């Protein structure tokens, strides 16, 4: 059972890394792409009037790249501290989505994404040993 959970958690983490890669590329190199901006609720009417594209590239792209890098390194090299760091980053993003659902109104896509992010957090915590250590002690 423990091996099955470990394999499932690795699939979630590695799959998330692969899934986020194109979004990271778009956030850095084409921040006005609908694939990127609609996922965070920023779809401006005219790209030429949008200020702060460097902020979008830096914040959204950088956060996604950090999650990819820390998740992959922590999982591949079995570094619990990096898995915890990635879990904190993904958890903060998920918390922001849940807050947005409460403040801005219900949206099924955001809810589904937030729930999936919680699955990623649990997977990272499991792979880091934080969930298994608490059960054995």
Q: Return the structure tokens found at 91.
A: 């958890």
Q: Is the CB of residue 50 less than 8 Å from the CB of residue 44?
A: yes
Among residues 130, 6, 13, which one has the least CA distance to residue 70? 13
Residue keyed to tokens 């792209």: 61
What pLDDT is stored for residue 45 in this prediction?
Answer: 47
- Give residue 121's pLDDT band: very low, low, confident or very high (50, 70, 90): very high
**R_g of the chain, CA atoms, integer Å:** 16
Is residue 49 over pLDDT 80? Answer: no
Reported as a single tens digit per residue, the pLDDT across 52-104 is: 666 667 777 788 888 889 988 888 888 889 989 999 999 988 888 888 888 88
Q: What is the pLDDT of residue 118?
A: 93
Is pLDDT above 80 for 4? yes
């Amino acid at each position: 059972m423990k091996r099955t959970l470990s394999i499932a958690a690795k699939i979630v983490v590695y799959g998330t890394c692969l899934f986020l890669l194109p979004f990271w590329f778009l956030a850095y190199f084409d921040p006005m792409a609908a694939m990127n901006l609609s996922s965070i609720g920023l779809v401006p009417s005219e790209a030429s009037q949008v200020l702060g594209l460097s902020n979008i590239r830096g914040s959204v792209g950088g956060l996604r790249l950090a999650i990819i890098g820390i998740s992959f390194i922590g999982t591949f090299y079995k570094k619990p501290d990096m898995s915890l760091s990635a879990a904190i980053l993904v958890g903060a993003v998920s918390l922001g989505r849940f807050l947005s659902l409460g403040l801005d109104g219900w949206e099924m896509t955001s809810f589904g994404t937030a729930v999936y992010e919680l699955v990623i957090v649990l997977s990272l915590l499991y792979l880091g040993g934080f969930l298994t250590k608490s059960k054995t002690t």
